[in-house]
Structure 1
Amino acid sequence: MAMGKRAAVVLVGLTVMLSACSQGNGNNGNNSSETTNAGATPAATQSTDKKPVTLKVLVASDWLKEKKWQMIFDDYEQQTGNKLDIQSAPVNSYKDLVNTRLATQDAPDLLFYWSQAGAISQLQPEKNLLDLSNEEFVSRINPAVSKYFLKSNDKLYGIPVTGLSVGGVLYNKKVFSDLGIEIPTTYEEFLAACEKIKAAGITPIYEAGKEGWPLQIFSFDAMANVINKQPDLMDKLNARQVTYDQVPEFVDVLQRQSDLQKSGYVNKDLFSATYDMSLEQVATGKSAMIFQADWAVSPLLEKYPDAQIGMFPLPADGDSYAAISDPNGLYVLKNSKNVDAAKDFLNFFSSQDELTKYFNEVKSIPTWTGLSVDLNPGTSDMNTYVESGKAVPFFNALSVIDIGDYQSILQQLYGGQLSAEGVAKSLQSNIDKGAKAAGIAGF
């Protein structure tokens, strides 16, 4: 059987936590166990004595492409008689649209949005969002998620509507096997693997520099290991007790990224390379590795079903930790005329039947507990780290404010316009501007 068609089964339990301390390697959840009846899907949430309503839903159009929410939308409309008016805009203009809609009192009933505390704070949650802290479904959110995301000032305002994505190194198993390369566990071993791959005439790492955003994954992954060793680092950065250019470990991460290019380990067509090209390169073995999150696995396998791929955390100088991305969240607008129906939709979305169907379709690590889910290769590799507590969020997800156009700064790193320290200073400048505009103390 082709490696791309193998699957693992994961049961996400109430004990799953992402902590800053190592708990040793756990299993990858291959043993299925019974699920509970909590959150079972009701036959209908719209009672017969109520007239059907139409809920306005605002969502970034880019998110609709692969999230597979449509099957939940269809189930909801069929079972309740209510309608969903889906309104969308491209993700690069989505924040501006949301802010405009809130400012003009033209807010939707339901809002799909980011889940970082910094992003939520920009929505003025006390004024605009419904506090969900005491709702029943909150107890079923994976504690790893509710610990870090969907919250502002310790109040929970949303539910997770995507899986837990894990960053790392996506690699071609056949290339590694043919060259006799073991999965590296230290950064020195990682560089040695790159050198061996390069000597064989294969591009070690393919970076999608044209689109920019994939260039961020390396530092997101590497900083997980830094934050693990310095769990109060983000608190200090968020209070501006220290700046990014004053964190030598962060500057070193950027220098390592730059050195990969200088050593000839990165594709020469970096600035014309796209995300789709990177998936093709690693799937076909033209390149051995890409820095990505496991959200890339499903689209890769859909196009290249026989690809032999796996994942491992970016190796560190010591115990390697995985980095997790924030899930998308779903929020109820506080001043909605249909606030009860909007809450009912959250109950429907979070029901066990709907969540089980959804997560077995997207094959990502569930952000809810008590679900039996088949995972893709790569994702199942990384879930070992999540289950054992050896994972922390991307550093941008822990920032008090949006980090701004970080990807363009990294393009300048690869282009030679900025040094590693220059990138760190530019990132800090982005944060300073955003924090001052938002009135955050200390900036």
Structure 2
Amino acid sequence: MKHTLKAVAIGAAAALCLTACSDPGSGSSQSSEPQSWPSATANLDGVELTMWAAQSSASIPKQVAADFSKATGAKIKIVTIPDPYEQGVQTKVATGDVPDLAMWQPTTSMLTSLGAKEHLQVLDNAPWESNTDKNVLAAGGSLDGHRYAAFVSAPSVMGVWYNKEIFAKNGVQVPKNFDEMLATAKKLKAAGQTPFYEMGGEWWASQWAVQVQLADAANSGLWDRVNKNEDKFTGAEIQGAINTYDTMIKDGLFNSDIKTATFNDQAQALLDGKAAMAIQVTSLLGNMAAHADTATLDKKIGFFPISKSSTLATSIPDQTNAVVAFKSKDTKKEAAARQFITYWLSDGYESFVKAQNTVSIINGVDTPDSVPKALIDSNDTLKDSVGSMQSLAIANPDLAKNLGDMIAGTKTAAQVGSETQSQFAQLAKAIGAKGF
């Protein structure tokens, strides 16, 4: 899961080019709803489907695809699209090259950028929908009242992964808001402990420390206002969060090698106790799980949600969490794609969650006992979470890349806000948003 969220911030210029190639808001002459939902194991001898996935998600559907083939006779060819995955897929789709299925980030901005209304099958009234955790469904997958993406696993959650042994050793408690967390960090630093670990050498994660601060404001309509150009990335909330992150870095609350540190470094530092906390998404636990067994993770690693004034979590579904089905002129293949999703989320789901060692999102399918407690705890915060920038904003500017430049010393905090706002406005204008 190393690159799970690396490409959520696609360059504004590239996104604008793709928008120009294919209007993501346009409709389609095809039916807006599928004609039928085939049974999960109906015979599909002779049918071959192509599925696109990223390097970080190519192995996810592998076992369920094999099981589906045995049950139905269909063949599913999984094709890995090189990173940056999202940009590669958008470019192909804009030129008319589409698969039958694809792993995809089911957020508003990424469904829009893919041209969901034009290119994707509508998945309304699917047989698996009533059995899917409602908190998961609420986290994304829909656009303008229609469902275009099916969740296969719980969405990622932004929050703080922490070393429980360090907290216990230094007598600190889990904080209840961002200011308390900063006070905890300063106490740890005074005791000679590195409070936070940031992977500035791989800038994609730099945005989480900013976004968690915006959860309360997002819950009060921040992104609605940004979408209408009534608030900006240079406004008090977002620029204030950027400034706070900048101050945290300047105050030495992060690792000394912040400019070069990697995702793997971050996972190892938290496991080894070289740092007390990391503001990250769920993929960090997946990385740590590659280096430690469940018993070790349960002993050492905990999770808590955080926001500016509370413990409100921020959800951010990524492309490892969901699958989409594309429209084509082949109705048999379209039906087979829908059937595969149905199989995945019914007959094939128990084997899937065991193979992935992940939390179940389907009622009646138990979460395996081997799943780390911290993952279960992070998933539990979904019920009270708010969507991320990617989930609630109409466009996805290069906030992470700009923050990475700030870490590297090539942009100021003020420039981060200003340039991100400029990119957002360009993207919003390109998709025809009012007010831009």
Q: Name the counterpart of 1:211.
A: 202
- In the TM superposition, what is the alpha-carbon distance from 1:135 to its structure 2 partner? 2.5
- Select 1:249's aligned residue among 232, 237, 240: 237
CA distance in 2, matches of 1:200, 1:220: 28
CA distance in 2, matches of 1:154, 1:295: 29
**Residue by residue, what CA displacement relative to the aligned partner does 1:76-105 show, whole Å, maximum 9, x if unpaired?**
11221211111121231x334323433443
Q: Name the counterpart of 1:161.
A: 152
Please say if 1:347 is aligned against 2:342.
yes
Q: Name the counterpart of 1:427.
A: 420
8 Å Cα contact 1:165/1:364 also seen in 2: no
- Select 1:437's aligned residue among 418, 424, 430: 430
2:147 is matched by which residue type in structure 1?
L
Q: Name the counterpart of 2:228.
A: 239
- Select 2:270's aligned residue among 279, 282, 289: 282
* 1:47-126 superposed matches below 5 A: 47=43, 51-64=45-58, 68-92=60-84, 94-126=85-117
CA distance in 2, matches of 1:160, 1:335: 22
- In the TM superposition, what is the alpha-carbon distance from 1:330 to its structure 2 partner? 1.5
- In the TM superposition, what is the alpha-carbon distance from 1:315 to its structure 2 partner? 5.0
- In the TM superposition, what is the alpha-carbon distance from 1:365 to its structure 2 partner? 4.2
- In the TM superposition, what is the alpha-carbon distance from 1:205 to its structure 2 partner? 0.7
2:338 is matched by which residue type in structure 1?
K
* 1:44-443 superposed matches below 5 A: 45-47=41-43, 51-64=45-58, 68-92=60-84, 94-228=85-219, 230=220, 232-246=221-235, 248-305=236-293, 306-307=296-297, 308-317=300-309, 319-328=310-319, 329-337=322-330, 338-351=333-346, 353-374=347-368, 375-386=371-382, 389-403=383-397, 405-443=398-436
8 Å Cα contact 2:360/2:366 also seen in 1: no
CA distance in 2, matches of 1:198, 1:412: 25
Q: Name the counterpart of 1:28.
A: none
- Structure 1, gaps ≥5 residues long: 1-40
8 Å Cα contact 2:104/2:318 also seen in 1: no
SS in 1 for 2:207: helix
- In the TM superposition, what is the alpha-carbon distance from 1:153 to its structure 2 partner? 1.6
CA distance in 2, matches of 1:62, 1:227: 29
1:88 is matched by which residue type in structure 2?
T
How many pairs align?
389
8 Å Cα contact 2:218/2:387 also seen in 1: no
8 Å Cα contact 2:204/2:404 also seen in 1: no
CA distance in 1, matches of 2:168, 2:128: 45
1:258 is matched by which residue type in structure 2?
D
| Cα distance change on mapping 1:180 and 1:121 into 2, 3 Å | same
1:45 is matched by which residue type in structure 2?
T
8 Å Cα contact 2:389/2:396 also seen in 1: no
| Cα distance change on mapping 1:81 and 1:406 into 2, 3 Å | same
Q: Name the counterpart of 2:34.
A: none
Range with greater deviation from structure 2 (173-182 or 160-169): 160-169
CA distance in 2, matches of 1:124, 1:188: 40
8 Å Cα contact 2:193/2:274 also seen in 1: yes
Range with greater deviation from structure 2 (125-134 or 171-180): 125-134
Q: Percent identity?
A: 26
1:243 is matched by which residue type in structure 2?
K
- In the TM superposition, what is the alpha-carbon distance from 1:224 to its structure 2 partner? 1.4
CA distance in 2, matches of 1:370, 1:234: 35
| Cα distance change on mapping 1:302 and 1:103 into 2, 3 Å | closer
| Cα distance change on mapping 1:243 and 1:204 into 2, 3 Å | same
8 Å Cα contact 1:62/1:90 also seen in 2: no
- In the TM superposition, what is the alpha-carbon distance from 1:385 to its structure 2 partner? 2.8
1:55 is matched by which residue type in structure 2?
L
Q: Name the counterpart of 2:19.
A: none
CA distance in 1, matches of 2:360, 2:247: 36
**Residue by residue, what CA displacement relative to the aligned partner does 1:304-340 show, whole Å, maximum 9, x if unpaired?**
23241101122533x3201111143322222152111
- In the TM superposition, what is the alpha-carbon distance from 1:364 to its structure 2 partner? 4.1
| Cα distance change on mapping 1:361 and 1:220 into 2, 3 Å | farther
| Cα distance change on mapping 1:193 and 1:125 into 2, 3 Å | closer
Q: Name the counterpart of 1:8.
A: none
2:62 is matched by which residue type in structure 1?
Q
| Cα distance change on mapping 1:185 and 1:73 into 2, 3 Å | same
- In the TM superposition, what is the alpha-carbon distance from 1:430 to its structure 2 partner? 1.4
SS in 1 for 2:57: helix
8 Å Cα contact 1:160/1:327 also seen in 2: no
- In the TM superposition, what is the alpha-carbon distance from 1:162 to its structure 2 partner? 2.9
Quote the RMSD (CA, aligned, Å).
2.3
CA distance in 1, matches of 2:200, 2:51: 33
Range with greater deviation from structure 2 (249-258 or 433-442): 433-442
8 Å Cα contact 1:198/1:204 also seen in 2: yes
TM-score by structure 2 length?
0.83
Displaced runs of 4+ in structure 1, greater than 6 A? none
2:130 is matched by which residue type in structure 1?
S
- In the TM superposition, what is the alpha-carbon distance from 1:245 to its structure 2 partner? 0.9
CA distance in 2, matches of 1:146, 1:188: 32
SS in 2 for 1:169: strand
